[in-house]
Structure 1
Amino acid sequence: MTQITVPEVGESVTEATVGEWLKKPGDIIKAGDAVVELETDKVNLEITANEDGVLAEILKPSGDTVVVGDILATVAPAGSQPAAPAPKPEPTPEAPVASSPAPASTPPVRATPDVRRLADEKGIDINEVPTSGNKGRVTHSDVESYVQAQTMRTAPTPPAAPATEKPFVAPTPSTDTELVEDRRTERIKMSRRRITIANRLVSAQHTAAMLTTFNEVDMSRILDIRQRHRDAFEKRHGIRLGFMSFFTKASIGALKAFPRLNAEIDGEDMLIKHYYDIGVAVSTDNGLVVPVVRNADELNFAALEKEIAALATKARENKLSIADLQGGTFTITNGGTFGSLLSTPILNAPQVAILGMHKIEERPVVVNKEIVIRPMMYLALSYDHRIVDGSEAVRFLALIKELLEDPESLLLEG
């Protein structure tokens, strides 16, 4: 008899939540088969079998909190017979003679523990919830949509009042009248990842002297380049030319000019990093994650776009590894994808700076003493004032603006 245990999944990961069991007791498993999912504060992991055998017993059901080394299940040698099912009770005389055939079994639904908890709290069977994609996995939005559809389907139609009945007049609120309102409240347990994100955001605000400086950039020339080279670029490289490659290149150029924004604080020392691992914030159903583009300064525009797109896809499919998320020297976040016009991003500790992109909006601006309409974007740079001076942060952001408004210069900076 062998065991399936919780493996080491990273230096900073000590606990996990048992997610969906992909195998059930009695199932034959092969070495390398995914047996169970674990949800950590960073990623969801599939735990695989180390050898062939039969899944004998599940010791940690879905929803349990486990630590490294805990035994999740036991595996019997190949060829073992699963435990015999309990004998069925003899039918009583009152039982009907004919019985309907048992329904065909269906494969288990894929969903994280927090989604299953939400379904339980809504009082619905998660197996009945249709999925909207994401490789058959049920998400929070799938559950909410199903609940809304069920509510609309089952809501009774109020009967028409008789012609002789007087219309109802609501009482005027007073000290003697209690208003009856629908004040329904839901209690939803936060996922381990959401709790960790919350703790880190609060910690970043408490431990860093965080300030934010703003600027705006005229996106005319970048939009023109994308328009003129869009089809040829995609045909040649198999990827669309987006905005992130321009902003990544501009950030690297500015980081080379102002290296203290590519650093972290270690006690009374500054660790200045002369490599450029750029974190790109990605929103997922389970919260914000920041996968890292390694050695971004060595990649051209096409390679950057491909790497960013690949990491974003892995994030949304819960396939990021711990290595994808570790490290990072500077972060870029784009609230503009959700329509944000202006915001103050929070530092991604232990980094000391983060760049916030926003929505492109046509606005009147003065160019050569004339008022013209240009596609403008507000930029926000949050920084740790403990090692980054205000003038340094302002000049850093001004250089990013300069590089973006003269895109050809990014080739020289790269």
Structure 2
Amino acid sequence: MIIQVKVPSPGESITEVEVSTWLVKNGDYVSTGQIIAEIDSDKATLEISAEENGIITLMVKKGERVRVGDVLCIIDTSKRNTKKHQEKIIDVQGKQKNNIEEVFSRDLKIPSPASKKILQEKNISIESIQGTGKHGRITKKDCIFYLEKEKNEISFDSNIPVTMYRPETRSPLSSLRRKLSERLVYAKNQMASLTTFNEVDMLEVFLIRKKYKDIFRKKHGVNLGFMSFFTMSCVRALQLYPDVNAMISGEEKVNFEYYDISIAISGPKGLMVPVIRNAEHLSFRGIEQEINKLSTRVHNGTISVDEMTGGTFTITNGGIFGSMLSTPIINPPQSAILGMHKIIERPIVVNGSIEIRPIMYLALSYDHRIIDGKESVGFLVSVKESIENPIKFLMGESEENISKKLEL
């Protein structure tokens, strides 16, 4: 029986995908549920599984673009698994090959295909290379070592030209990366993007986390991180400055009366921006659990298109990579994005005295077509205000209210 494996639909608006990776070869025996391929859509990478046991035949090539519903491959379920028989043949052939190499290749300088190419291009005598591979085989590494050594042996006042071997690798951009590039260029060219900066003293957040983090993790199973504080601070600031939570649609401005916060997360496939829905209704626990769930799904490749669709405002944290300051690019069609950065102890003046405090620089990039400078600065000042005094603005001013907010 022949089973056709077709391209699934990654999302409602997506009609075309790219085959980014085949994890099997023509003629391989595959098992039900085995991951056989990965496809890239404009928004996510999806895994394709074998639907039955059998011998697979690939119908499209890696890198080829196909439409939803097209046949990716066929599986012949009538053919049995001959893998064990093939392994025995390969094992016998391998032993024979090893015996032949043991007898005939000992002390012979046989170049590998990659090293052979270098030897020919650089006109290097095979006798001048010391092979370090099995049975004296000359490897690419041996050739590069020889060229480096030859360069170092030439005196600085020599007029002999030296041509170094400088390899380069070219690979096509994935569909996901191409779409991201288009969106970034669109944001740069179509929006009147400006960035305003401020700094925030993280001391109070540090003290709260130090006091409650262990009991919070024990009770809720997640860490009390910085992102919940910043998410809540942004929701409060968006409520005070509603145009920052808006977008342009044609000749209209659309103000959202809900707060779907996009969180930039770096994963194996690149930067993903999943969305925390209705963040205004979530507690510290709810936000941290949602971030943990989305981050896990990004890193194991199971994040869905729906989980990355929408969002009214974005938070990105370049500080986890060591960034001190940056101008984040707006995530269209949104109108603003908050950039967090690395926390560094700095000397600041507090009540007339110099103190060392943990300071983070903040950046807000915004679309000046609908957000004025006064609003952008006010928004960032509001975030700073909440972070520097979270007990007053985010938790209530009593131990009882803090415990209630943290659900302890």
Q: What whole-Å deviation, never above 9, does each CA across 1:13-60 have from its counterpart, x for those lacking one?
A: 322224224586474654x6644321233222123456x564553212
TM-score, normalization: structure 1?
0.75
Structure 1: which amino acid aligns with 2:156? A
Q: What whole-Å deviation, never above 9, does each CA across 1:48-76 have from its counterpart, x for those lacking one?
A: 456x5645532124333222222112245
Is residue 334 of structure 2 the alignment partner of residue 332 of structure 1? no
Alignment of 1:227-266 (within 5 A): 227-266=210-249
Q: What whole-Å deviation, never above 9, does each CA across 1:371-401 have from its counterpart, x for those lacking one?
A: 2111111100000000111100100110000
SS in 1 for 2:194: strand
Change (3 A) 1:222 1:200: same
Contact 1:282–1:312 (CA<8 Å) still a contact in 2? Answer: yes
Alignment of 1:185-264 (within 5 A): 185-264=168-247
- Give the aligned partner of residue 10 of structure 1: 11
Partners of 1:63 and 1:181 lie apart in 2 by 32
Name which of structure 1's ranges 258-267 and 32-41 shifts more when overlaid on structure 2: 32-41
Return 5+ residue gaps in structure 1 as ranges: 89-97, 105-121, 125-149, 162-166
Partners of 2:53 and 2:164 lie apart in 1 by 58
Is residue 284 of structure 2 the alignment partner of residue 301 of structure 1? yes
Partners of 2:148 and 2:12 lie apart in 1 by 63
TM-score, normalization: structure 2?
0.76
Q: What whole-Å deviation, never above 9, does each CA across 1:171-223 have from its counterpart, x for those lacking one?
A: 367xxx75545544332322222222222111110111000000110000000
2:275 to 277, 287, 292: 292
SS in 2 for 1:60: coil
Change (3 A) 1:401 1:186: same
- Give the aligned partner of residue 46 of structure 1: 47
Contact 1:16–1:41 (CA<8 Å) still a contact in 2? Answer: no
Structure 2: which amino acid aligns with 1:171? D
- Give the aligned partner of residue 62 of structure 1: 62
SS in 2 for 1:387: coil
Change (3 A) 1:412 1:19: farther
- Give the aligned partner of residue 119 of structure 1: none
Change (3 A) 1:198 1:412: farther
SS in 2 for 1:276: coil
Contact 2:19–2:37 (CA<8 Å) still a contact in 1? Answer: no
Compare the two structures and name the one with the higher helix fraction. 2
- Give the aligned partner of residue 109 of structure 1: none
- Give the aligned partner of residue 411 of structure 1: 395
SS in 2 for 1:398: helix
Contact 2:243–2:255 (CA<8 Å) still a contact in 1? Answer: yes
Shift of 1:304: 1.0
SS in 2 for 1:41: coil
Contact 1:237–1:302 (CA<8 Å) still a contact in 2? Answer: yes
- Give the aligned partner of residue 397 of structure 1: 380
Change (3 A) 1:154 1:308: farther
Shift of 1:103: 6.2
Identity %: 42
Partners of 2:339 and 2:35 lie apart in 1 by 38
Shift of 1:290: 0.6
SS in 2 for 1:232: helix
- Give the aligned partner of residue 116 of structure 1: none
Shift of 1:275: 1.2
- Give the aligned partner of residue 74 of structure 1: 74
Contact 1:17–1:192 (CA<8 Å) still a contact in 2? Answer: no
Partners of 2:349 and 2:161 lie apart in 1 by 59
Shift of 1:284: 2.1
Structure 1: which amino acid aligns with 2:19? T
Partners of 1:360 and 1:60 lie apart in 2 by 49
Change (3 A) 1:153 1:218: farther
Contact 2:23–2:37 (CA<8 Å) still a contact in 1? Answer: yes
Change (3 A) 1:15 1:28: closer
Contact 2:201–2:359 (CA<8 Å) still a contact in 1? Answer: yes
Contact 2:246–2:334 (CA<8 Å) still a contact in 1? Answer: yes
Return 5+ residue gaps in structure 2 as ranges: 96-112, 116-138, 398-404
Shift of 1:285: 3.0
Partners of 1:356 and 1:333 lie apart in 2 by 5
Structure 2: which amino acid aligns with 1:194? R
Shift of 1:230: 1.4
Partners of 2:208 and 2:200 lie apart in 1 by 15
SS in 2 for 1:101: helix
Partners of 1:384 and 1:266 lie apart in 2 by 13
Change (3 A) 1:53 1:382: same
Q: What whole-Å deviation, never above 9, does each CA across 1:95-140 have from its counterpart, x for those lacking one?
A: xxx9961569xxxxxxxxxxxxxxxxx979xxxxxxxxxxxxxxxx
Change (3 A) 1:367 1:103: same
Contact 1:18–1:60 (CA<8 Å) still a contact in 2? Answer: no
- Give the aligned partner of residue 92 of structure 2: 101
Shift of 1:152: 6.9
Shift of 1:368: 1.1
Partners of 2:269 and 2:195 lie apart in 1 by 27
Contact 1:337–1:358 (CA<8 Å) still a contact in 2? Answer: yes
Give the total of aligned pairs: 349
Contact 1:56–1:82 (CA<8 Å) still a contact in 2? Answer: no
Partners of 1:84 and 1:239 lie apart in 2 by 47
Change (3 A) 1:12 1:123: farther
